Amino acid sequence: MTVIVGLETTVGEKAVVVGSDRSIVSDDRLIRGCINHIVKNPYHSISNFFHFLQEKGLDKVKLSPTRKIQTSDDKRVLAHTGSSEESHNQISKLLLKTEDFLKEDSLLKQILFPIGCSKELANEYLRIYKRHFNIDQRLCAKHIPEIRRIFDIHTAKLRTVNAGPFSIALWDRNYHPVLSEYLFAKLFEGEPKLFEITKTGVVTTRQYFVKGSGRPYAFQHIRYRLETSEFPFLYASETGIEKPVDLEMAVKVVRESIEYANYCSPFCKGFDYAIFTRDKIEEHFSNEKFSYELNIIDLIDKRLNELLKEQNNLKKIKARYLTN
């Protein structure tokens, strides 16, 4: 139901351009999660999700605009895939307003002490933790464990098992389709830098990257425009950019990739972007209002056509094997 794109320049002024579409499903959390499963799993079994919608008596889903790019006064940019969950609010505070995040003692204790701790020990450790916390060190280590713990707090069920004098914390984790995914940009070693951040807090530096349900379409366009050395069916990661990319071109490629995703995916619409340089952040946010509905029957027909096309392709490949 979304597409977010980040791209670094390779020539001229060092900059990061971050863009996104603006649409989000307006229904309740379960409906959003169900639609997200349908959108993200093009070749998996999804009949159960359509059955869920049918049982709910839902024949249409409504989409409306939202802003998916946030900036901070100390030159940080965060793009997320459209979740409005409390977990996202806490993670955006961690990444964009770290000082405010470190004032949330109750949340920090949940993060640091999942099975409890004495008050005196917890308070002492909390003082040490706040004094030494550094977001750049987390980025350099390529992992932000606080993100994993925040998602756990909101989506994982804790089971405590007594083992003699000890207690063991076991977490029952289930994939949670409305959790946000992130592209994050900040000054790192004096230069604007783009990072991909996963739901488990894994951090990867990127020259460019795309996340969200519109990712296959946007990645396809970016690979074509940047003349990358990737295989066409591998869009999980980026490799070398063959073409020099200045700021003007970066903005153009980000815009085109999102517009292409908007054209190909019924769930993507609108365009926002931000330009992040060493000296400033330029926000280019739209105030366009829109609201539209998608018919569930149309989504089923679209998925049936996609599966039929894939089935025919597999039959052709099988026939070639049999004739060789």
Find where tokens 């499963």 sit.
Answer: 37
Q: Which amino acid is at 105?
A: D
Written as six digits, the tokens of 274 are 């931000």
Written as six digits, the tokens of 255 are 């815009």
| Dist. CA 82–CA 80, nearest whole Å | 6
**Mean of per-residue pLDDT scores for the chain:** 85
Q: Is the pLDDT of residue 87 over 50?
A: yes
8 A C-beta contact, residue 5 and residue 20: yes
8 A C-beta contact, residue 205 and residue 74: no
* 23-25 vs 15-20, strand pairing mode: unpaired
N- to C-terminal Cα separation, the chain: 42
CA 50 to chain centre: 24
pLDDT single digits (tens) 233-287: 444 455 577 789 999 999 999 999 999 999 988 888 999 999 999 999 999 999 9
Mean pLDDT is lowest, of 28-32, 103-107, 149-153, for 28-32
| Dist. CA 199–CA 80, nearest whole Å | 11
DSSP single-letter state for residue 75: T
**What is the model's pLDDT at position 201?**
92
Taking alpha carbons only, the member of 168, 186, 147 closest to residue 276 is 186
Q: Is the whole-model pTM more than 0.85?
A: no
Q: Is 289 helix (H, G, I), strand (E, B) or coil?
A: coil
Mean pLDDT over residues 212-216, rounded? 84
| Dist. CA 75–CA 135, nearest whole Å | 13
Written as six digits, the tokens of 59 are 């024949």
